[in-house]
Amino acid sequence: MNRNTAISFFIGTAISVAALYFAFRNIPLDEISVYISSINYFWIIPAAAVSLSSFIMRALRWQSILEPVRKISFTQAFHPLMTGFMLNCILPGRIGEAARPAILMKKEKVPFSTGIATVAVERIFDIVLLSILFIIIIAGIKIDPDLAVDFGGYRLNSADLSSAGKNLAVTGGILAAGSFLLFFGKTRKFMGFIIIKLPLIFFFAGPPLKKKIENTISLPALRVLENFSNGFLLIKRPRTILLCACYTMAVWVLTALSYYLLSLGCPGIGLSFTELTAVMIIVCFFIVLPSAPGYWGLWEAGGIFAMSLFGVSAKDAAGYTLINHLIQMVPVIIAGLVSAMITGVSIGYTGNSDEKVKEGV
């Protein structure tokens, strides 16, 4: 484990431990144990199957985003994607987000920076859609305006949630607009002009040093800019954007359906599909923060907090959230390990950033 990974792991673990403490400090463990034993585990099968099917939609979406750069088959997209999500579950620092482009570079010769850009495009689709869904759902669900939930030393209410959703939507819009600018030739030309003129900052240096700066910094940076911009080529294809938006909707509808199916076997939940969609989105807000591998702690904290808004007791919410977390994680880990074996990719390779840089960006 290198130094940066170790730091990320310890910071994430500390945050996760704190989140677990705040989530479970008022819930006796024996009550959680009794609740878990009362769950009808038949519903795990359809819930896990639906959850895994959402990754088929993710792979189709990634395949579509990559199409303007390199046409790849479904399996060529699916196996790196599952390997990456598996690594997010077992390693710190969300290293799986970099693993996918690394695998794509090794197997399909797609520049690493281009692969990273396509992953960024996915995240923009996710942020924008989740923000829109959250605003619509919170506006349509009746939550007592006087209801306030104390969590982690903070007092949160429905107004805070609406504000958070709107802020996230604005952030997503800014990211989308900034990404859109990368597509235009004039924008890239201006950025390239700034990069190529970088050696002029060192006016006091001699020609040899300026040439070295140009060769070691400016020219590689230009290649990265061009490759990264290529990851956003779908912008010139409205049909592809629409298709990716549909895939994104399918991803999150299937994930919410998985939440709902599990709830049918969990006593004391009784939430509608729409309410559990809101729970899912709030959990996503929580796990954006740094955490231990697999988002342990923050996932539970988000689930318990979200369900308390709809009147679910802390004990029932804790039991449901723990089981749901396992259902969302374990199948992904198993599928990711199988994908890694099928592609013959070493997990050590995907986590080695130095190796990725040496092989090219």
pLDDT tens per residue across span 309-332: 888 888 899 899 999 999 999 999
Return the SS3 of 155: strand
> Is 220 inside any structural domain?
no
Which carries the bigger pLDDT value, residue 356 or residue 103? Answer: 103
> Is 208 inside any structural domain?
no
> Is 189 inside any structural domain?
no
| Separation in Å, CA 314 to CA 32, 103, 258, 297, 303 | 10, 42, 21, 15, 10
Number of structural domains in the chain: 1
> Is 204 inside any structural domain?
no
Residue 181 backbone zone (phi > 0: left; psi -120 to 50: alpha; other: beta): alpha
> Is 194 inside any structural domain?
no
Give tens-digit pLDDT for 229-262.
666 666 678 888 899 999 999 999 999 999 999 9
User: Could you tell me the pTM of the whole model?
Assistant: 0.78
Residues in the chain: 361
> Is 192 inside any structural domain?
no
Contact criterion met (CB below 8 Å) for 271 and 307: yes
Average pLDDT over residues 161-168: 63
> Is 338 inside any structural domain?
yes
Instruction: Compute the distance between CA of residue 92 and CA of residue 105 in angstroms, rounded to an integer.
Output: 22
Average pLDDT over residues 7-19: 58
> Is 306 inside any structural domain?
yes
Domain that residue 241 falls in: 15-179+237-352
CB atoms within 10 A of CB 331: 17
| pLDDT at 120 exceeding the cut of 60 | yes
**Structure tokens of 130?**
């989740």
Average pLDDT over residues 27-40: 81
Mean pLDDT of the chain: 78
